[in-house]
Amino acid sequence: MRHLLTVSDLSRVTATALLDEAERFEQALLGREVHKLPTLRGRTVMTVFYENSTRTRVSFEVAGKWMSADVINVSASSSSVSKGESLRDTALTLHAAGADALIVRHPASGAAHQIARWMDAWAVSSGRNSGPAIINAGDGTHEHPTQALLDALTLRQRLGDIEGKRVVIVGDILHSRVARSNVFLLATLGAEVVLVAPRTLLPVGVDAWPARIAHSLDAELPGADAVLMLRVQAERMNGGFFPSAREYSINYGLSERRLALLDEHAAVLHPGPMLRGMEIASPVADSPRAAILQQVTNGVHMRMAVLFRLLVGTQEAVA
């Protein structure tokens, strides 16, 4: 594995190995005085964010720092991007400045893939073994692989196993890279995935996804092992996708009444940031059924596992 661009790159064996390694990192850090491992000492990890983010960027930064990498954060608004520098030039500049890994978030779908192609082409033309590892930290409405991995880890911890479990993903499927990555990764890991959304918030081609489509949340909650609520991505909406926030909330919000429809063991996930009162009621978000903060903690361990996989070892870099 050279880059992590999409969950389709991950076989069931690799995905499970990544989940296991994230848990090993959790164990390795448990009960210790110093939250610092020397594993990536001397490596430089750069985050390049063309969109705002708290948890993903912080999570990668903490993961890198706990493994002793030098972590440098670049945000589009405070870099030469605001002067009109192209994506390719920015990426090549950061690599020339010494990046061993570029963690990229970009509003355009496929941006991370494109950077990876440029970097690999550059590595070949300059006669080097390899360029930097590219990690997709969210590209437009396409994918967010590390989020799907940390969600899978959280589900495995809450439910004991993912195989055969029913996961209901609710809300703005159309604009959600989290939904897309989760559907494909959870299917790879053997879960049964149900998508619940208004017709206007389903992407073209969703029928080909390994998931069942439904429109009534009330009907899907009984028997579900987990519910993954999505954020309504108003910033990506250029028209009316539903009549009003209130109506959306009544039809697709996870209220206390709906929480009662779930089985005792079922977990509630949300990738954040959450709009309390719209997608999820405040008492539900703060209930012990919700795994939202556990997702954040798992995010750090998961990203440590990904950095470990991509930056340590020789076999794939040479191949």
Partner 1 sequence: MAVPEERAAKSGAAETSQRHTPEGVEAGRELLSASDVSRTIARIAHQIIEKTALDAGAQDAPRVVLIGIPTRGTSLAARLTDKIEEFSGVRPALGSLDITLYRDDLRTRPHRPLERTSVPEGGIEDALVVLVDDVLFSGRTVRSALDGLRDLGRPRAVQLAVLIDRGHRELPIRADYVGKNVPTSRAEDISVLLTEHDGRDGVYLRQEAQA
Q: Segment contacting partner 1 (CB under 8 A): 28-36, 109-117, 240-248, 295-303?
A: 28-36
> Residues with Cβ < 8 Å from 36, sequence gap 6 or more?
65, 66, 67, 68
Q: Let me know the angle formed at the C-alpha of 220 by 217 and 224, rounded to the nearest 5 degrees.
A: 125
Residue pair 17/71 in contact (Cβ under 8 Å)? The answer is no
Question: What is the C-alpha to C-alpha distance for residues 298 and 310, in angstroms, rounded to an integer?
Answer: 18
Asked if residue 39 belongs to a known ligand binding site, the reply is no
Question: What is the C-alpha to C-alpha distance for residues 83 and 99, in angstroms, rounded to an integer?
Answer: 22
Residues, the chain: 319
98 sits near partner 1 (criterion: CB under 8 A): no
Helix residue ranges per DSSP H, 3-69: 12-29, 55-66
Nearest to 290 by CA among 199, 229, 213, 249: 229
Q: Among 15, 19, 25, 57, indicate the residue that binds partner 1 (CB under 8 A).
A: 25
- The helix (H) or strand (E) run that includes residue 258 is helix 256-259
Minimum separation from the CB atom of position 27 to partner 1 (A): 5
164 sits near partner 1 (criterion: CB under 8 A): no
Q: Segment contacting partner 1 (CB under 8 A): 23-31, 51-59, 102-110, 183-191?
A: 23-31
31 sits near partner 1 (criterion: CB under 8 A): yes
12 sits near partner 1 (criterion: CB under 8 A): no
Q: Segment contacting partner 1 (CB under 8 A): 36-44, 161-169, 213-221, 229-237?
A: 36-44
Cα separation values, 125 from 9, 111, 121, 165, Å: 25, 21, 6, 47
Asked if residue 147 belongs to a known ligand binding site, the reply is yes
13 sits near partner 1 (criterion: CB under 8 A): no
Asked if residue 56 belongs to a known ligand binding site, the reply is yes
Q: Segment contacting partner 1 (CB under 8 A): 37-45, 211-219, 254-262, 291-299?
A: 37-45
Pairing of strands 70-75, 166-170: unpaired
Which residue, 244 or 314, has its beta carbon nearer to partner 1? 314
* DSSP 3-state of 204: coil
Q: Among 34, 96, 204, 208, indicate the residue that binds partner 1 (CB under 8 A).
A: 34
Q: Among 12, 36, 257, 265, indicate the residue that binds partner 1 (CB under 8 A).
A: 36
Question: What is the C-alpha to C-alpha distance for residues 123 and 236, in angstroms, rounded to an integer?
Answer: 35
Q: Which residues bind partner 1 (CB under 8 A)?
A: 17, 20-21, 24-25, 27-28, 30-34, 36-39, 67, 308-309, 312-316
Binding-site residue numbers are 55-56, 83, 105, 144, 147, 177, 231, 272-273
